[in-house]
Structure 1
């Protein structure tokens, strides 16, 4: 499983990179704040919404601590998606929140 740190993700965003970030936390968790531009697909819905994703794109999976996003990363990898888990989750995130 490919991983990157919260600091590495923040650097990519600050460089203006166009990234596809998926936040797999629950809706009420995301309401408290998320990484700018992240799309919320709760972990329990990933299987039912993966048809919305494009296998030609790379996705960065995010959650609170990195555990749920790790499960989502492994699941989507098993279906041929190009995914990266942000290790440490939002607990490690020091960047902007929207």
Structure 2
């Protein structure tokens, strides 16, 4: 099985600061994202991903975010098997010390 590509919170922060256009998807539950999301991230709960595949484009890369990196890792594995280009944010929001929006 192919390894899941990863991105660290530091790498992600640098990309955002340099104005790169990224597809960030936060897969946490509603009550978790209420505490703040990375600016520009789109919220799609992990359980909703299979029903919302039409929102993803196989030509683009998506970075997945959760609380610790475990759930987003599972989502990445699932989508990668379907042929999507994905990356998991290591350490999740617990490791994120950048800006958040509520």
TM-score, length of structure 2 as denominator length = 0.94
Q: CA deviation at 1:34?
A: 0.2
**1:17 is the counterpart of 2:20:** yes
TM-score, length of structure 1 as denominator length = 0.98
Q: Match for residue 2 of structure 1?
A: 5
Mapped partners of 1:31, 1:51: distance in 2: 25
Give runs of aligned pairs for residues 75-86 of structure 1, distance below 5 A.
Answer: 75-86=78-89
Mapped partners of 1:71, 1:45: distance in 2: 13
CA RMSD of aligned residues (A): 0.6
Q: Which runs of 5+ in 1 are unaligned?
A: none
The size of the alignment, in residue pairs, is 98
Mapped partners of 1:6, 1:71: distance in 2: 18
Q: Which runs of 4+ in 1 moved over 6 A?
A: none
Mapped partners of 1:77, 1:69: distance in 2: 12
Q: CA deviation at 1:30?
A: 0.7
Q: Which runs of 5+ in 2 are unaligned?
A: none
Mapped partners of 2:30, 2:56: distance in 1: 19
